[in-house]
Amino acid sequence: MVMSRSFSKCFCESLFILCLASGLTRPVYAGEAELNQNNIDNHHDINKLLSCLNLNAPGLEKVKSSVDDPQLAAKELLAYYRARDFVKHPVDRQAKPEMLGKCASMNDISEAENAMKHIFVGQPAYPPHFCGEDINWNSRPVPDMEWVWQLNRMGFWQSMSLAYWHTNDEKYAKEWCFQFVDWTKKNPLDKEHDYAWRSIEAGIRGHSWTILFQRFLDSPSFTPEVLVAFLNCCHEHASYLMTKYSKGSNWGLMEADGLAFIAITFPEFQDSKKWRDEAIMRLNTEINNQVYSDGHQRELAIGYHSGCIGWFTRSFDLAKMNGQANAFPESYNKKIEKMCEVLMKLGFPDGTTPQFGDSWTGTPGHIWESLRNWAQLYHRDDFLYVATEGKEGKKPDATAFALEKSGFYSMRSGWDKNSICLVLKCGPDGGGHCQPDNGTFELYAGGRHLMPDAGSYIYSGDPKNREWFRQTKVHQTLTLDGKNSTFSPKLLLWKPGTDLDILVVENKSYQNLTHRRALLFVDKKFFVIIDEAMGDATGPVDIHFQLGPGSVVSDYKNFSACTNFHDGWNVLVQSMKQKGMNMKDEEGQVSFLYTKKEPRPAFSYGLQKNTKEQETRFITIVVPYNESQPRIKVRLTGKPKIGSSHMELKIVTNGISKKISYDL
Ligand code: CA
Confidence band for 17, pLDDT divided at 50, 70 and 90? very low
**Mean pLDDT value of segment 522-548:** 98
Are the beta carbons of 517 and 531 closer than 8 angstroms?
yes
Measured CA to CA, the distance from residue 495 to residue 362 in angstroms comes to 30
Percentage of residues in the chain having pLDDT higher than 70: 94
**What is the 98 CA–ligand 1 centroid distance (Å)?**
45
**What is the 127 CA–ligand 1 centroid distance (Å)?**
26
| DSSP string for 33-70 | HHHHHHHHHHHHHHHHHHHHB-TTSTT-HHHHHTTTSH
Collapsing DSSP to helix, strand or coil, 476 comes out as coil
Confidence band for 12, pLDDT divided at 50, 70 and 90? very low
Measured CA to CA, the distance from residue 449 to residue 421 in angstroms comes to 10
From 478, 479, 429, 472, select the one nearest 453 (Cα to Cα).
472
* pLDDT of the residue at 42: 86
Are the beta carbons of 576 and 634 closer than 8 angstroms?
yes
Looking at the chain, the number of H-run helices and the number of E-run strands are 17, 24
Query: Is 10 a residue whose pLDDT tops 80?
Result: no
* pLDDT of the residue at 320: 97
Query: Is 541 a residue whose pLDDT tops 90?
Result: yes
Percentage of residues in the chain having pLDDT higher than 90: 93
* Residue 240 falls in the annotated catalytic set: no
**What is the 604 CA–ligand 1 centroid distance (Å)?**
16
* pLDDT of the residue at 258: 98
**What is the 601 CA–ligand 1 centroid distance (Å)?**
15
Query: Is 4 a residue whose pLDDT tops 50?
Result: no
**What is the 312 CA–ligand 1 centroid distance (Å)?**
26
**What is the 356 CA–ligand 1 centroid distance (Å)?**
5
From 229, 312, 214, select the one nearest 265 (Cα to Cα).
214
Confidence band for 449, pLDDT divided at 50, 70 and 90? very high
Measured CA to CA, the distance from residue 305 to residue 338 in angstroms comes to 12
* pLDDT of the residue at 29: 43
- CA 419, 420, 424 angle in degrees (round to 5)? 140
Collapsing DSSP to helix, strand or coil, 605 comes out as strand
**What is the 590 CA–ligand 1 centroid distance (Å)?**
9
What is the signed CA dihedral for 98, 99, 101, 106, rounded to 10 degrees? 160
The distance in angstroms from the start CA to the end CA of the chain is 73
Lowest mean pLDDT among 34-43, 108-117, 347-356: 34-43
Query: Is 314 a residue whose pLDDT tops 70?
Result: yes
pTM reported for the whole predicted model? 0.90
Which residues, at least 6 apart from 506, have a Cβ–Cβ distance to it below 8 Å? 426, 489, 490, 492, 514, 515, 516, 517
Collapsing DSSP to helix, strand or coil, 32 comes out as helix
* pLDDT of the residue at 28: 42
Are the beta carbons of 408 and 423 closer than 8 angstroms?
yes
Which residues, at least 6 apart from 68, have a Cβ–Cβ distance to it below 8 Å? none
* pLDDT of the residue at 627: 87
Measured CA to CA, the distance from residue 256 to residue 280 in angstroms comes to 7
Q: SS in 3 state form for 136-155?
A: CCCCCCCCCHHHHHHHCCCH
Across the strands, what pairs with 297?
291
157-206 tens-digit pLDDT: 999 999 999 999 999 999 999 999 999 999 999 999 999 999 999 999 99
* pLDDT of the residue at 24: 37
Mean residue pLDDT of the chain comes to 94
**What is the 418 CA–ligand 1 centroid distance (Å)?**
24
* pLDDT of the residue at 41: 67
Reading phi first (left if > 0) and then psi (alpha if -120 to 50, else beta), residue 482 is in left
* pLDDT of the residue at 1: 31
**Mean pLDDT value of segment 238-265:** 97
31-64 tens-digit pLDDT: 444 444 556 568 999 999 999 999 999 999 999 9
Query: Is 447 a residue whose pLDDT tops 70?
Result: yes
Helix (H) or strand (E) holding 73: helix 70-83
Lowest mean pLDDT among 42-46, 411-415, 451-455: 42-46
* pLDDT of the residue at 181: 97
Selecting among 172, 240, 304, 332, the annotated active-site residue is 304
Quickly count: other Cβ atoms within 10 Å of residue 353's Cβ: 23
* pLDDT of the residue at 57: 96
Collapsing DSSP to helix, strand or coil, 661 comes out as strand
Please, which residues have CB less than 5 A from ligand 1, an ion? 435, 453
**What is the 363 CA–ligand 1 centroid distance (Å)?**
18
Query: Is 411 a residue whose pLDDT tops 60?
Result: yes
**Mean pLDDT value of segment 102-107:** 97
Lowest mean pLDDT among 4-8, 481-485, 499-503: 4-8
Lowest mean pLDDT among 41-50, 78-87, 258-267, 313-322: 41-50
**What is the 355 CA–ligand 1 centroid distance (Å)?**
7
**Mean pLDDT value of segment 101-127:** 97
Measured CA to CA, the distance from residue 648 to residue 636 in angstroms comes to 6
Q: What are phi and psi of 177, to 5 degrees?
A: -60, -40
